């Protein structure tokens, strides 16, 4: 089946403004009659909940953390993109649009990306009004820096804490609505099922993570803002609580899952240091503004560094291979993340990795410190340098960082149309939980932009349009659909508790993560992906027969929480393998070794794969059905990406 993105007709430059005018409105006096459920309280969730409540809608907002301030959005470090062009260096709405489409390797819907670029300036205005402490120039103007995939400086930042500061701004708006009574906040509460009534999303089933209570919640519309699924790899830069469960349970109720194999590998992370590690730590892409990436040219120098008989400082500049600068002179160290990550992998595969495992490259700030001075570099990156030193005991002021790519973000997600509504009536999906804006690779500093765009400037219009265009029948949690969904959740939880196996949840999750990284990580091929589909299916069956889930259902039970999430990751991992196997091309973060240029760059197949792949769930043991949405490019004509 071919999907329709419901993109309105018209000139791309005025498309969103005209669409807003054509959408149905809800009278302010009538908005209090409607209720919206917002699942997730990160940037997309908090901004959406606060905006809808400010308009007069009643909102129930849910998060698994003890406060919305602990949502994973706080982990974003480097900045947020906007086309304001304060440095007067040639930026524009169109250039941000073009860079984003190109950066995603021409696998995103043009209309959605242009809208994102169009509202990006409003986001900065909104956040400044909320008091977000963006960095400023001496003159008082907001400062900008550069990120990968762009030749202009368009990234606004708050030192290395941009995500945290933006979330505090959104949280302040949300808190205002909580105090006014327009938002009811449900913390430490996890969505475990979506309730469909006569083909429309009308509520959710949740579990109180403190008491174990299974509860029903009804509304006129449901918004999922639950982030990405990078923890399917076990080791990622995501918070350990980040999961796919809300989106996956919606998928099992009929929502299509789009492009699940599109995962982003971030090139600047602290390398894995042991078998017992539980997560990885991001080092912001902003560091590549001043840090130079290199490895020794000579393998004898590599061996000496690994043995400890030489340090990075002992390697003469002529013997340093600044491989990004040499391969991509136009962009240098600021190539997009997929390109930089594959570059690091290639050099480490060639035996030039500089740590004990052979999986690390240097990120060196010595030239920047010599050029700009210690205090200037400290002002830009001080908290990031401190974080690195706390973890590794090395000071980046004195020695280069050691970095290696790691799973960071997922471009795939639930399929949505131009209005951010899934194929399920009344189910909207915002932020990283949807697939819509980044194609096969996200540019740095664009995640925060998308989350706030969706929550502040898109969903308030499109949700109102949905409510104003469709008669909303009264929905009660006493309806049989709610009872059936609640019983299904209880049965699943009890089934997990009754297995009484020998393997821990974390052990099985770790095995899944190794499979995913090996066969669906930075490089993929047909044989590996076929093995992944087979192995994840077998591991899933092993999980349901031999996992150990201790404790009670009706109580605080962290093991039960993890078990439910890993059960969903196991099913997702199999789907990711199928999606990567079906997409017989390379594009962005999806790199099929059979499809590459002579220079080892990703080689697309536009004739056969210029489309979105959206998968329909057909049962746990049944093969899913693959639907497509054709992508049409009228403004950004696809070409072989080049950053040279």
pLDDT of 159 above 90: no
Q: Return d(Cα 26, Cα 475) in angstroms, integer.
A: 19
pLDDT of residue 628: 98
pLDDT of residue 509: 98
pLDDT of 190 above 90: yes
pLDDT of residue 599: 86
- pLDDT category, 532, cuts 50, 70, 90? very high
Which residues have CB under 8 Å from 412's CB, separation 6+? 229, 257, 258, 259, 260, 261, 262, 263, 435, 576, 579
Mean pLDDT over the full length of the chain: 96
pLDDT of residue 131: 96
| Domains of the chain, first to last | 266-408 (3.90.700.10), 499-605 (1.20.58.100)
Q: Provide the pairing of β-strand 35-39 with 58-62.
A: parallel
* Closest to 443 (Cα-Cα) out of 416, 414, 408: 408
Q: Where would I find the beta strands (DSSP E) of 422-550?
A: 427-429
Handedness of CA 350, 354, 358, 360 (dihedral sign): negative
User: Bridge partners of 203?
Assistant: 195, 218
pLDDT of residue 276: 87
Pair 406, 273: CB distance under 8 Å: no
Pair 57, 35: CB distance under 8 Å: yes
pLDDT of residue 472: 86
pLDDT of residue 31: 97
- pLDDT category, 26, cuts 50, 70, 90? very high
Pair 40, 227: CB distance under 8 Å: yes
DSSP string, 256-269: -EE-TT-EEEEEEE
In angstroms, the Cα distances linking 254 to 7, 199, 579, 590 are 22, 10, 17, 25
pLDDT of 644 above 90: no
Which residues have CB under 8 Å from 504's CB, separation 6+? 547, 548
Q: Which residue has 């010595």 as its token pair?
A: 366
What is residue 431's three-state secondary structure? Answer: helix
pLDDT of residue 195: 98
pLDDT of 2 above 90: no
> What phi and psi, each to the nearest 5 degrees, are found at residue 362?
-90, 145
Q: Which residue has 């000579």 as its token pair?
A: 298
pLDDT of residue 608: 98
* Closest to 624 (Cα-Cα) out of 614, 635, 610, 636: 614
pLDDT of residue 366: 97
Tens of pLDDT, residues 231-277: 999 999 999 999 999 999 999 999 999 999 999 999 999 999 888 89
Q: Return d(Cα 206, Cα 282) in angstroms, integer.
A: 31
pLDDT of residue 33: 96
pLDDT of residue 466: 98
Q: Provide the pairing of β-strand 183-186 with 58-62.
A: parallel
> pTM of whole model > 0.95?
yes
Tens of pLDDT, residues 50-74: 999 999 999 999 999 999 999 999 9
Residues with active-site annotation = 337
Q: How many residues does the chain have?
A: 644
pLDDT of 305 above 90: yes
């Amino acid at each position: 089946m071919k999907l329709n993105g419901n993109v309105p007709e018209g000139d791309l430059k005025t498309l969103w403004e005209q669409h807003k005018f054509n959408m149905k409105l809800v009278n302010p006096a009538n908005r209090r009659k409607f209720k919206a459920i917002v699942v997730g309280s990160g940037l997309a969730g908090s901004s959406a909940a606060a905006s809808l409540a400010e308009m007069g809608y009643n909102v129930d907002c849910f998060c698994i953390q003890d406060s919305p301030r602990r949502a994973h959005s706080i982990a974003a470090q480097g900045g947020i993109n906007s086309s304001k062009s304060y440095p007067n260096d040639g930026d524009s709405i169109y250039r941000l649009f073009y860079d984003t489409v190109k950066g995603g390797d021409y696998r995103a819907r043009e209309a959605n990306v242009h809208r994102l670029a169009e509202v990006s300036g409003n986001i900065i205005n909104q956040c400044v009004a909320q008091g977000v402490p963006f960095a400023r120039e001496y003159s008082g103007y907001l400062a900008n820096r550069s990120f990968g995939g762009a030749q202009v400086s368009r990234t606004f930042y708050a030192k290395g804490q941009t995500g945290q500061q933006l979330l505090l701004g959104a949280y302040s708006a949300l808190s205002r609505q909580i105090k006014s009574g327009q938002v009811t906040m449900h913390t430490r509460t996890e969505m475990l099922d979506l309730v469909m009534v006569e083909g429309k999303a009308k509520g959710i089933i949740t579990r109180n993570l403190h008491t174990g209570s299974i509860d029903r919640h009804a509304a006129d519309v449901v918004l999922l803002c639950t982030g990405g699924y990078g923890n399917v790899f076990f080791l990622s830069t995501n918070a350990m609580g980040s999961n796919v469960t809300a989106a996956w349970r919606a998928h099992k109720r009929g929502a299509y899952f789009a492009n699940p194999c599109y995962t982003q590998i971030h090139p600047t992370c602290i390398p894995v240091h042991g078998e017992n590690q539980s997560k990885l730590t991001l080092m912001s892409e902003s560091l590549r503004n001043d840090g130079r990436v290199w490895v020794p040219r000579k393998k004898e120098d590599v061996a000496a560094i690994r043995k400890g008989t030489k340090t990075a400082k002992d390697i003469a500049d002529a013997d340093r291979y600044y491989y990004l600068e040499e391969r991509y002179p136009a962009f240098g160290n600021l190539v997009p993340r997929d390109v930089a990550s594959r570059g690091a992998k290639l050099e480490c595969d060639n035996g030039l990795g500089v740590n004990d495992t052979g999986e690390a490259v240097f990120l060196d700030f010595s030239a920047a410190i010599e050029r700009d001075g210690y205090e200037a570099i400290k002002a830009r990156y001080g908290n990031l340098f401190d974080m690195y030193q706390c973890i590794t005991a090395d000071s980046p002021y004195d020695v280069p960082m050691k970095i290696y790519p790691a799973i960071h973000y997922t471009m795939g997600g639930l399929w949505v149309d131009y209005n951010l509504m899934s194929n399920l009536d009344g189910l909207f999906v915002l932020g990283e939980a949807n697939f819509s804006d980044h194609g096969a690779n996200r540019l740095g500093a664009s995640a925060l932009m998308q989350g706030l765009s969706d929550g502040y400037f898109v969903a308030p219009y499109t949700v109102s349009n949905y409510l104003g265009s469709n008669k909303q029948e009264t929905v009660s949690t006493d309806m049989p659909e709610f009872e059936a969904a609640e019983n299904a959740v209880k049965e699943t939880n009890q089934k997990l508790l009754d297995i009484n196996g020998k393997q821990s949840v974390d052990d099985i999750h770790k095995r899944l993560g190794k499979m995913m990284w090996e066969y669906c990580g930075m490089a993929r091929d047909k044989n590996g992906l076929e093995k992944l589909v087979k192995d994840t299916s077998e591991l899933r069956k092993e999980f349901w027969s031999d996992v150990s889930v201790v404790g009670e259902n009706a109580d605080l039970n962290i093991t039960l929480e993890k078990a439910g999430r890993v059960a969903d990751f196991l099913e997702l991992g199999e789907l990711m393998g199928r999606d990567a196997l079906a997409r017989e091309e390379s594009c962005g973060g999806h790199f099929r070794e059979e499809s590459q240029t002579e220079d080892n760059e990703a080689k697309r197949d536009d004739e056969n794969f210029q489309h979105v792949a959206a998968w329909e769930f057909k049962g746990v043991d049944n093969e899913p059905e693959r639907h497509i949405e054709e992508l049409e490019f009228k403004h950004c004509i696809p070409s072989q990406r080049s950053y040279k």
